Each structure stands twice: as C-alpha cells, then as structure tokens.
Chain A
Amino acid sequence: KNEVEQSPQNLTAQEGEFITINCSYSVGISALHWLQQHPGGGIVSLFMLSSGKKKHGRLIATINIQEKHSSLHITASHPRDSAVYICAVLGFGQGNLIFGKGTKLSVKP
C-alpha cells in the first residue's frame, strides 16, 4: 500500500464546476504539499500545509491531521486548470517528500 493515496486518479469536469481532489496518507507528517504539473513536466508548488486551511485565488487546500487527510478544491474551474495535481508529504524527521501518483484533471470548455 502506498503511503500517499490520491483520489480520483482521473477527473473530467465542465468549465465552472467545483472540483475536489483528495489525499490520504498513512505516516505522521510535518507538512503536506499540493503541487501542479502541466504537460511537459514543469511542477509548481501550490500550497504547503501543516494544519487548517489555505486559500489562493480559486484554490483552497485543507488538512485534517487527526484523519490524515487533505483536500484540494478548485472553485469555478477553467480549462487552464487542466493539469496533474500531486499530493506530497514530509514525514516527521524526514528530509524528503513522499509523493502520491497524482490526479489528472481535465476541464472541458
């Protein structure tokens, strides 16, 4: 079993829809990252969380430490949001991230 599980693996939405991507992990963590990867490979860090909730524009990330679960929400989705969204965790006392397999999002106009 992977230490970081994401769902769904693939997601297709219509422009304007509210989107939720989930991440569950099995280890104690000091931080959780949400990353965005566009076709061509470039990865951009969206959020780093250790508790609570963060918001940036149309993106919202939440984390529940007790339940070992995080969600990434996109409001009013747009075709330019189409990308792979990756959840990664930094375990306690660890220096490197453990990555999920990613969720491929496709937003249709």
Chain B
Amino acid sequence: EAGVAQSPRYKIIEKRQSVAFWCNPISGHATLYWYQQILGQGPKLLIQFQNNGVVDDSQLPKDRFSAERLKGVDSTLKIQPAKLEDSAVYLCASSLAAGPTDTQYFGPGTRLTVL
C-alpha cells in the first residue's frame, strides 16, 4: 500500500513570498490533516478535512494560510505571504475516518525555510 505522499520535500523562500505544498493521502482515506511542526515542538494541527469539507481549522492563521481539498482526495496548503516564523516542517496525515481508533498515517513532510 502506498503511503502519504508530499511534495516538495524542501523549500526555501524569502519572506513575503508565496508557497504551496501538496499532499496525496492513502487511497480511500476520508480524513486528511495538515500539521505545522516548529523545530523542537510537537506537531500542531492547522486544518482537518473530512472528504472535501473542513472539520477543524481553528488554528489555521487564515490571514495568510489557506488549504483546499476540492475533490476529497489530494490537498494543497498555501502560505501567502510567508513570514520568518512560518519556517517549520509541514506534515500531512490521513486516516480512514476520524474516530478514536483510526490510526493517522503521516507523510514525510515538507521542510520550509523562510529567509
């Protein structure tokens, strides 16, 4: 079974530039998560999708971050414009559903550096 795919793996941009990340979850997984992991911290949930609908985006900085999952499969996360404090690893995860017994499978992450 193929895992969660993310691209790019690394991205370096200057502040105020825009950037987009892509995630392809495991086939058949209805729930998709985007996390931000700052160095030395645990992952922080940015947004959770159930199929193509948003379940939780309470911690997404909506003035600069946006995400979509138009066809309920792959997803993009965009930052526009980027700030220095956005430097982090952006992790995508997916699960069959969102229940307490559903294991989340994580992608390799995209390491973003904002200069």
Binding site for B on A (CB under 8 A): 4, 30-31, 33, 35, 40-45, 48, 50, 86, 88, 90, 95-97, 99-102
Contact A101 B103 (CB under 8 A): no
Query: B55 near A: Cβ within 8 Å?
Result: yes
A-B contact count (CB 8 A): 56
Which residue of A has the minimal Cβ distance to B35?
A99
A97-B45 contact given A48-B103, A50-B100, CB 8 Å threshold: yes
Q: How far is the CB of B2 from chain A (nearest CB, A)?
A: 14
Could you list 7 A-B pairs, sorted by A, with CB under 8 Å?
Answer: A31-B100, A40-B108, A41-B37, A42-B107, A43-B91, A48-B103, A97-B43
Q: How large is the interface on B (under 10, 10 to 19, 20 to 34, 35 or more residues)?
A: 20 to 34
Q: How far is the CB of B55 from chain A (nearest CB, A)?
A: 6
- In the bound complex, residues from chain B placing their C-beta under 8 Å from that of A99 are 42-44
- In the bound complex, residues from chain B placing their C-beta under 8 Å from that of A33 are 103-104
Contact A42 B101 (CB under 8 A): no
Contact B101 A31 (CB under 8 A): yes
- In the bound complex, residues from chain A placing their C-beta under 8 Å from that of B101 are 31, 48
Query: B111 near A: Cβ within 8 Å?
Result: yes
- In the bound complex, residues from chain A placing their C-beta under 8 Å from that of B89 are 41
Contact A101 B42 (CB under 8 A): yes
Known contacts A42-B106, A43-B93; 4 further A-B pairs (Cβ under 8 A): A4-B42, A30-B100, A45-B104, A86-B43
- In the bound complex, residues from chain B placing their C-beta under 8 Å from that of A45 are 103-106
B33-60 vs A, CB cutoff 8 Å, 1 = contact: the mask equals 1000100111111001000000110000
Q: How far is the CA of A99 from the CA of B35 in the complex (A)?
A: 11
Q: How far is the CA of A102 from the CA of B39 in the complex (A)?
A: 11
